[in-house]
Amino acid sequence: MPSPVPRASRRFVLTGTGAAAGVLLVGAAAGCGQRQADMTGPAAVDPTEPAVDADSDLVETIGAQIAAALALAAATGAAFDQLRPLTRRLVAVHRFHLGELGRPDEGRHGTVKGSPATARARLLRSEETLQQRLVRAALDAESGALAQVFASMAAAIAQQRAVTG
């Protein structure tokens, strides 16, 4: 039986917290002597913040993939009445996601051929692929906020896939 992990003592935690607070106070005091004019130049930009357009290509790529998934879901629903309950939910999710990315629904919906079972399987594979791409995009995003949006979108698709069984 493995031995239990030792717990930190209250004294250790309080000492560590006090030391961290002291470091923060020293850092804050160092910046107090700066004039407001010094903070408006090029050095005022946070170097850890991504550039405004750092993720624009990623947003465009993901937006195009969501639009393609939307087109397939809409076409599948139009072709097979028995798949409409599934496709309505997916269409709604994809339209919402396009809106979040500031992309319009372009309204192009092709035709789907084959049996309902084949179309359903193709649609679910497409959704799985999109979910994986969204997860990858969340990892690749420079902006933390955009990463959260992509992760949320991936979770929404995962939830829809889980509901469909």
**157 domain-assigned:** yes
- Does the pLDDT at position 77 exceed 50? yes
Within a domain: 117: yes
Number of domains in the chain: 1
Which pLDDT tens digit goes with each residue over 125-148?
999 999 999 999 999 999 999 999
Percent of the chain exceeding pLDDT 70 equals 67
Does 81 reside within a domain?
Answer: yes
Q: What is the pTM of this model?
A: 0.67
Return the CATH number at 79: 1.20.1260
User: Whole-angstrom Cα distance, residue 140 to residue 85?
Assistant: 33
The mean pLDDT of 111-125, rounded to a whole number, is 94
Domain extent, residue 139, equals 56-164
Residue 3 is predicted with a pLDDT of: 54
Instruction: State the residue for tokens 């309204």.
Output: 107
| Residue whose C-alpha is closest to residue 65's, from 162, 147, 157 | 157
Angle at which helices 84-100 and 116-140 cross, to 10°? 20
Tell me the mean pLDDT in the region 112-125: 95
- Quick one: pLDDT band at residue 11, thresholds 50, 70, 90? very low
Spell out the SS3 assignment of the chain: CCCCCCCCCHHHHHHHHHHHHHHHHHHHHHHHCCCHHHHHCHHHCCCCCCCCCCCHHHHHHHHHHHHHHHHHHHHHHHHCHHHHHHHHHHHHHHHHHHHHCCCCCCCCCCCCCCCHHHHHHHHHHHHHHHHHHHHHHHHHCCCHHHHHHHHHHHHHHHHHHHHHC
